[in-house]
Structure 1
């Protein structure tokens, strides 16, 4: 379609040519034919000029459009390349996620299969043990531990089993005599450390040791902690006892960590020491010197101690927490536990007797069912340890409660440390699934840890050995 501007230009060119011919005819006196030829020639030149100028203008417009099209094509190519890169990245992430998920599923399937094998072996072991119990009314005595893992140096006599504490009446007839025996034992360094392992469930791999205190009188008869702790607290000796026990525990921990960096030691601390500024300052200085061992050294208190904390005890606990030490609670008498408050105070372990966890009456006496206690404590970073386990049936029931750690005579009784100089290279035997029905054989303490410090006068020499390199 012809544009109006083109028609207007053509009319103007005709008018200009006609005007030129008329001027030549009327003014210059040229004849009409000659004026017409000149006018036609001028019109032809105007038409040619207009055609050439329009062609040049159209060419420049087309060039601009082609340049714009080229730029647009380049931008489109860049956008397509960017989309391709993003798509490749998304595909890579999806492929990686799929492969990772497949690996996790395979690992989980392997763990489930392994757990199934362990459960089957456990069920077979329990069934065979029940058949043996049903067939014979007399239960065979458990196999005694090896003699080379027991105390065999003077003045402690060689025995084939851990010496059992004797009644207090056999040591002293009254409190004053017992207090004198405790003082003499402290002065002569006759305070012994026994170790009882805590194992993982259901693998029964030794993970921690609890240091149990025993005292020997002048006749080498053994007193349990419950027999002399009360007298020691009343006589003001508990601070010295706790300090000596810490020294021994740190020394044992150093030697245990030579072979296994993941092992830990639980050390019992009295409420009287926590409340006494003088005794606690002495213990705090020693713990500050051994701060590097804080992640593996757990201080254990009674449940009654945490329920009756005063301002002094709370400040002392806070001082220990600032130095990186963690706490454990034992002697639990009920399950009325506030995990948030305990976690804020630095508690990371709670020991509950297996009989208390499995008691059906506890579900009615507390706000939470015992089977949910392990999960509740785990939310606040606290591990539940079932202690005083004495039978395989209790282990099976505790696995349903998701209890991760166990302690008791079923796994091993408290064992004395090896005397110094005793040659032995035995390792800690790991309980295997096929040995679940033979758990009466206690897991011995590592040879590197079973050492008994020699007698010294006072605590200075023992402190130098405990703090120094092992």
Structure 2
């Protein structure tokens, strides 16, 4: 766009040329044509002069702009050089810091390796001393009762694991002899079960499930016992078949659920993370009338659903009918989780079980550690925990009898353990306030589970047994760390 100053200059040049032509015509008497030629000539010279002057002025402006641009470029180059210098300094510091960190890490790795060698040497020494102590205790002559109590835990290997019936019974009450139990007929056993239910002689024993390897109490399993008219203890295996045949399992399961909920409420006062496993029979699950009563009770206590686990046998899940499937779905909709026990083989479908609400599977430790299972099952036992974990199912190793089994199970990434090694089933106090007698002393190192009151009877094991059990476990771990030879 033409500037106003240029237009003004052009108008002025035209006026000056026209004025010159008029003056020559009026004063000098030159004709109009000649005066017009003179005026055009003057206008041409003025235009040429203006153009030349403007070109010179533009050249000077461009030169100044070029000079300014050169100065700006020089400043930018100096700033870039400064930034490059600072970046080089930062890179040098980072390299020096990395080298220093690498040197420190190498030093720490070397110290850790030295500590590992020392720990292996210490483990070997502890294992050898433990073997010497065990061999010396085994070779010692028999002494009176106090010495026998201390020496008994050293001879840990047993030909067969103790049964739940033998271990779980309180010491003051004599368990029925095998001949006496076999002599009791089916009608007599059914009458004893009916009388026990009518007179509320149903006892709840709790056995802890601990985390591995910390051995902190995380759950309790409720184990049912009945007392007959002579106060003889009837274990679950002794009366369940008879109760199912007589149609009494529904009442027993309902009473057990009631007691378990009461126990869970009392336990959660001290520890919100504790949970209780409650066994439910297949007969109760298949009976609509009995199940409706249990479902109403569980519906009223659905606030405890995250900590209350219903446990079924593996055979029950493998033989589910339409009624059982519908009942399981009703429990799952109310937030209850399920567990599977009495596992006889490792052929499981984790996805199907997880869809049905199963969150725990209890497998005997002997079955997990049996080398023959790798050929008979679809998955190696060492990979079972990872496979179940992908579907939100935790593997619990039950019936753990010795420290060597615990060490081997840790290689299988088993998170929870249960067995007589940690604690046998303990009876509740008469008011049912606690059932953890003797569990924390033998199964945890700093357990956060509820502390047991001193009045709970101890069915087996005395305080003198506990240090030897720990010593044997430390020796097994030491042998594991030291390796073969």
If the TM-score is normalised by the length of the shorter chain, which range does it land in?
0.5 to 0.7
Which secondary structure state, in structure 2, belongs to the residue aligned with residue 202 of structure 1?
coil
How many aligned positions are there? 378
* 3-state SS of paired residue (2:242): helix
1:380 maps to which residue?
Answer: 391
**Within 5 A, what are the aligned runs for 1:417-456?**
417-420=428-431, 429=440, 446-447=451-452
Shift of 1:132: 3.8
Partner of 2:29: 30
> Within 1, Cα distance between the matches of 2:179 and 2:270?
38
Shift in Å, 1:169: 3.3
Cα pair distance change 1:288/1:390, threshold 3 Å: same
Is 1:302 paired with 2:313? yes
**Residue 224 (structure 1) shift:** 0.3
Unaligned runs of 5+ in 1: 1-8, 70-75, 77-97, 99-104, 144-157, 436-441, 453-470
How many angstroms apart in 1 are the aligned matches of 2:440 and 2:296? Answer: 36
- For 2:249, the equivalent position in structure 1 comes to 238
Contact 2:202–2:225 (8 Å) recurs in 1: yes
Partner of 1:201: 212
Equivalence for 1:353: 364
Cα deviation, residue 349, structure 1 = 0.7
8 Å CA contact retained: 2:267, 2:434 = no
TM score, norm. by length of structure 2: 0.64
Alignment partners' CA distance in 2, 1:297 and 1:450:
26
Task: Report deviation, 1:220.
Answer: 0.9
Query: Of the candidates 412, 417, 420, which is equivalent to residue 409 of structure 1?
Result: 420
The answer to whether the aligner puts 1:173 opposite 2:173 as a matched pair is: no
Tell me if the contact between 1:199 and 1:205 (Cα under 8 Å) persists in the aligned partners.
yes
Q: How far, CA to CA, are the matches of 1:123 and 1:258 in structure 2? A: 45
Instruction: Tell me, yes or no, if the aligned pair for 1:207 and 1:262 is still in contact at 8 Å.
Output: yes
Q: Give a deviation string over 1:217-254, Cα, whole Å, max 9, x none.
A: 11111010000000000000000000000001000000
Q: Is the 8 A contact 1:301 1:328 kept in 2?
A: yes
- The answer to whether the Cα contact below 8 Å between 1:291 and 1:323 also exists between their aligned partners in 2 is yes
Correspondence list, 1:9-158, <5 A: 30=29, 39=39, 42-43=42-43, 46-47=46-47, 50=50, 54=54, 129-135=130-136, 136=138, 140-141=151-152
* CA-based RMSD: 5.0
Compared CA separation, residues 206 and 26, structure 1 to 2 (3 A): closer
Tell me how far 1:123 sits from its aligned partner. Answer: 7.9
Change (3 A) 1:220 1:119: farther
The residue number in structure 1 matching 2:90 is none
Q: Is the 8 A contact 1:343 1:382 kept in 2?
A: yes
Task: Report deviation, 1:133.
Answer: 3.7
Q: How does 1:335-350 map to 2 (within 5 A)?
A: 335-350=346-361
Are 1:253 and 2:253 matched, yes or no? no
- Equivalent positions of 1:205-224 (< 5 A) are 205-224=216-235
Q: Aligned pair in 2 of structure 1 residues 232, 122: CA closer, same or farther (>3 Å)?
A: farther
The 1:433–1:191 alpha-carbon spacing in structure 2 relative to 1, beyond 3 Å, is closer
Contact conserved, 1:216 with 1:223, CA < 8 A, in 2?
yes
5+ residue gaps, structure 2:
1-8, 70-75, 77-97, 99-104, 141-147, 155-168, 458-485
**SS of the residue 2:440 aligns to:** coil
User: Per the alignment, do residues 373 and 168 of structure 1 end up closer, same or farther by CA in structure 2, a change over 3 Å counting?
Assistant: farther
Go from structure 1 to structure 2 and tell me whether the alpha carbon gap of 1:171 and 1:216 turns closer, same or farther (over 3 Å shift).
farther
Q: Structure 1 length as normaliser, TM-score?
A: 0.66
Shift in alpha-carbon separation, 1:196–1:321, aligned structure 2, 3 A: same
Q: Does 1:391 align with 2:392?
A: no
Q: Is 1:282 aligned to 2:281, yes or no?
A: no
The more displaced of 398-407 and 414-423 is 414-423
Deviation at 1:288, TM superposition (A): 0.6
Say whether the 8 Å CA contact 2:381–2:412 is kept in structure 1. yes
TM-fit CA distance, 1:366: 1.1
